[in-house]
Amino acid sequence: MSTDPKIMVVEDEERIRSFLLKGLSYDGYDVQVAEDGKSALHLFEEYRPDLILLDVMLPGMDGLDVCRRIRETSNIPILMLTAKEAIEDRVAGLDAGADDYLIKPFALNELQARIRALLRRAPTTPPQIFKFGNLELDTGTRRGRRGDFTFDLTIKEYELLELFMRNPRNVLKRDQIYDKVWGYDFGRDSNIIEVYVRYLRQKTEQGDMSRLIHTIRGVGYVMREEEDAAEIIE
The per-residue pLDDT for range 147-177, each reduced to its tens digit, is 889 998 887 888 899 999 999 999 999 989 9
Residues 6 or more apart in contact with residue 22 via CB below 8 angstroms = none
Contact present, 200 and 160 (Cβ < 8 Å): yes
- The overall average pLDDT reported for the chain is 86
Any alpha helices (H) in 124-169, and if so which ranges? 155-166
Give the pLDDT of residue 228: 58
Cα–Cα distance, 117 to 21 (Å, whole number): 19
The mean pLDDT value for 206-233 works out to 80
Give the pLDDT of residue 180.
84
Banded pLDDT at 206 (limits 50, 70, 90): confident
Rounded mean pLDDT, 62-72 = 90
Long-range contacts, stretch 158-166, CB < 8 angstroms, 24+ apart: 160/196, 160/197, 160/200, 161/137, 161/200, 161/204, 162/130, 162/137, 164/200, 164/213, 164/221, 164/223, 165/130, 165/131, 165/132, 165/135, 165/137, 165/223, 166/130
How much is the pLDDT for 234?
45
Mean pLDDT across the stretch 113-129? 77
Q: Does the pLDDT at position 189 exceed 80?
A: no
| Model confidence pTM above 0.85 | no
In order of their start, the domains of the chain are 6-119 (3.40.50.2300), 129-228 (1.10.10.10)
Average pLDDT over residues 111-139: 83
